[in-house]
Structure formats: structure tokens, C-alpha cells
Amino acid sequence: TFKRRDAAPAKKPWKPLALDCDASDGPPGVLHVCEDLVVLDKPAGWLTHSDGQDDRPSCAAFARTLVDAPATASGELGVHQRLDVDCTGVLCFAASDAGNALLKAAFEEREATKTYLAVVDGPGDLQKRGGVLRAPVAGAPAETAYDIVKSTREGTVVECRPKTGRTHQIRAHLAGAGCPLRGDARYGCGVDRQANRALLHCASIRLPDGRRFAAAAPPDMATSAVDRRAALRADPTTTTYREIHGAADGYPAKFYVDRYGAHLLVQRPEDVDETARDAALADIYAAHPPAPEASVYEIVTRVDRSNGGQAPPRLIRGPGACAAFEALEHGTAFRVELGERKLSTGLFLDQRPQRRFLRRHAANATVLNLFAHGGAYSAAAAAGGAARTVSVDCDKNWLAYLDHSLAANGVENPPRAVGKQHDAIYGDCFDWLKRLAKRGERYDWVI
């Protein structure tokens, strides 16, 4: 969890600060442009329109670039529909007075037919044959019809058709039925979100004039773990990520499969048999066929590790990875090592979204990394232009990986009066917190 030192004081009762998902790299898809309308496929993380307080891109500003001059009385695009920043899908803007009248009838007078797709962790109190949810939202009557599209161990996809247009209506209704949106920190669990956004997608809108616009759901809406990783597999700047994340992906708890380039590392609890492991690997290989040099290592994790005794990894397939190498994560390079000598690879892949967030927001900041290990957080911050990073860990060998990762990202590390610009400190973090405080050190980010 990241928190700036100038953040507002926490309110009681305590609830974790949920970070909205970052804006998707690509622009919105263009579904339709004519003299009256601009219809977009909104990506996650984009605002519907600027709120004057956020520097994230807005769909309204993008839509404005698609028309020469809106033929509206105000001279601006008309906004009659809004999607939450996390939500994806069909988003309509008016480019003329006729378009304003059409969208006003569609959304304010409720003449549009709107269809959303939602991913939840289980059917909760929803009926298998569908039904209607009726419950006030913010004190106003609200109604949502629904059907269950698909329900598996990996999640449930629900088609929702709101009859009213209350803010957060679908999110509130599904939470009230015992199945909040996956990733919804407001109406669901703010700690175990299982997705980096609330998984809600506006799949189609039929306007009063009969025109219908539709947008395919993005990969993260898939219930299959392998399908959800499609965007990562297609990203040439990412060669390392978590393929399977235990119960969140419908597999046994604490069963993980991590990808490091061509190689896989399986963490299998000792009470999960090899048949389940082999089935998971078959699912992965069906979507990502193994290269000739591909190897698979496995750690059979003990259920009770209170007394130590965890066995090291063992090679179960392939020729083995012979040396340390650089793996890419959204364009940031990290030094990793697979083999039968070490329990760790130097990079915890469940932290990938947080490292990406830090790289995007660390420019000119100072970062104290108390979760250093191989220095991955520090390398991500430095690659993002951090003014200074300090990494503290009790293992000199893993701290040495930081220099390799900095070099792989083209980051220089000049000396300072004390230490280096991106310093690595061997020692206990609690001891060093006291020492740094005595020095008068201050940091923008503390991990």
C-alpha cells in the first residue's frame, strides 16, 4: 500500500485507501461518429469527462478531437451518460442539438435499453433463472433486471439491465444481493479485491431511434484465469507475470503459477495433488505453448511452516534455467533467477500492479523501500524518474540484484555525500528507521 506523507488524515473506522486503476495505455475505441453523435468504447481508468481535479485523460476530450466543431448551442459535446472511472464500454456524446435531444430522451427520460456485464465471485442470492433487484439507492427507488450468463468455480458473469439510472445502481444492487463486483473496494471488500478495478462493462446501448451500439468486454472480464492474462501475453514489454493466483482464479488456495520469460514456477501446497497441477499447466500451455528451452520448477509448500523446513524448488520439466536473467514487466527490467538453490526468484509477481503504479507516479520523488529483497520496487521507482531511493534488507546477496536491475533500465547511480543516489542498505529495517529519523531523512513514499 502506498501513501504520501501529505495525504489527508485517515477517517475512522479504518478502511484501506483504494487506488483507482491507472488509465489504460491505449485510447478509447471509436464505435460511431456522425453529425449528431460520437460513441466510444471507454477503457478502464479514463474519466467520462474532466472533473478539474484529476490529470487522468477523459473520453469527452478525446471525443472532441473526432469532430470539427460540435453543432450544439453551447459549442461543446453534450454529456448525458456517465460511466465510473473503473467501468468500461459504450459511452455516448452528443455532437449537435438533435443529438442532445436524442440522448436526453435516452438517458434522462429512460428510453434507452442498457445492458451491462458484471463479474462477481459467486451467485450470492441471485436466482439461476434471472430476476429483478429492487432496492432504493441513495434513498431513491431503483430497479435492475439480471440474468446469469455463466457461473463457474472461477467466477460468475451477470448480465444487468438497469431500469433506472441511479449512481452506482448496479454496484449497490449486486452487493445487496451478497455478490459485490469483483474488484469493487467501495461496495465489496477493500482488502481482498481480486481485481485492480470494479469489473463492470457497458456491453450495449439501444437508443430510442433504434440504433444499437455494442462493445466487446475487455480481457480482464473473463472468468478463466488464462483468458484474463491474454493482454499480458500479447504485451511485448511484459515477459513476467502471475499466470494463476490461487482461489482468486478458481484454483486451490495458495496454488500459484508464475511466468518468468519462457519458464514457469509452480507453488503447490502439499495437500494439493499433482493431477491438479498438471491440469493447470495444460490450461496455460493451451494458450501459451512452451518454447523448446522452457522449464518448470515446483515448490511444494508446507501447510505448517512455523518450524521452517521448506524444501527448495525442484525441476519437473525442461532443461532448466542456467543463469540469472532480466525479465520485463510493463517495460521495466528486473534481475531474476530460477533454479533449485533458492526459494525466491528475486521478484514477487503478485506485486506487479503496485510496481507499475509506482513507476508511473514516482517522478522526482524520494522512496524508502523497506520491502527491498531484490530491490524491485526501487528499480521501478528509479526507472520512473525517482530523485532518490533507499532499499533496506537483511540479505546482501539479494540487495546486489538492484544494481543489475538499475543498469538494465539505463538508470545511472552516482555517489552522494553519503551512499548513492539509489542506495542499498544491509540491515534490519526497524533499526534503520531509527537511524534515518536521527539523520532527519524524509521520504515521499514509504514501502
Q: Strands 263-269 and 445-446: what pairing?
A: unpaired
Q: Determine the Cα–Cα distance for residues 296 and 232; give it in Å rounded to an integer.
A: 19
Catalytic residue chosen out of the listed positions 36, 41, 84, 249 = 84
Question: CA quadruple 48, 54, 56, 61: dihedral positive or negative?
Answer: positive
Q: Strands 240-245 and 212-214: what pairing?
A: unpaired
CA angle 395, 401, 403 (to 5 degrees): 120
Position 374, amino acid? G
Helix, strand, coil content of the chain in percent (nearest 5): 20, 30, 50
Contacts of 264 (CB under 8 A, 6+ apart): 243, 257, 258, 281, 284, 294, 295, 296, 297
How many angstroms separate the Cα of 384 from the Cα of each of 133, 333, 377? 46, 12, 11
Q: Determine the Cα–Cα distance for residues 349 and 392; give it in Å rounded to an integer.
A: 20
As beta bridge partners, residue 2 has none
Position 39, amino acid? V
Q: Is 227 a catalytic residue?
A: no
Q: Determine the Cα–Cα distance for residues 433 and 342; give it in Å rounded to an integer.
A: 28
Q: Which of 115, 95, 20 is nearest to 361 (CA)?
A: 20
Residue 386: all three cell numbers together: 525517482
Q: Determine the Cα–Cα distance for residues 90 and 216; give it in Å rounded to an integer.
A: 9
Tracing cell 521520504 back to the chain, one arrives at 443
Catalytic residues: 84
